[in-house]
Amino acid sequence: MARKKARVKTEAIVECSFLIPLCRDQDLSDGKPQAKESWRWLNGELFLRFQGRMVAPGTYQGAYEDPDTREMVIDESRVYCCNSGNPAR
């Protein structure tokens, strides 16, 4: 007799990673470090929406082209990751 294979329902998990600069933009803002309240807000929102988050160790240097000046802007950021495996209820 042939056995039937059990079907397991699988759900796709989408991972998202993004960088948040440690300091605010010097041209659009004051260039000062992000406020502690902003970091608390971000952590709270990620927990609320994804029941967790991961922050990569250390900081990362990045660069992008300023759309107004066309000059390269170099900044230092934290990397955050979250996934849709635990969507908000």
The answer to whether residue 66 scores a pLDDT higher than 60 is yes
Q: Does residue 49 sit in helix, strand or coil?
A: helix
Structural domain boundaries of the chain? 15-83
Q: How confident is the model at residue 88 (pLDDT cuts 50, 70, 90)?
A: very low
Residue whose tokens read 């082209």: 65
Measured between its terminal Cα atoms, the distance across the chain in Å is 43
**Pick from 50, 64, 62, 58: which is nearest to 16 by CA?**
50
Q: What is the pLDDT of residues 2-58, one digit of tens each?
A: 677 777 777 777 888 999 999 998 888 899 999 999 999 999 999 898 888 899 999
DSSP symbols for the chain: -PPPPPP-------EEEEEEESB--TTTS--PBPPHHHHHHHHHHHHHHHS--EE-SS-EEEEEE-TTT--EEEEEEEEEEEETTS---
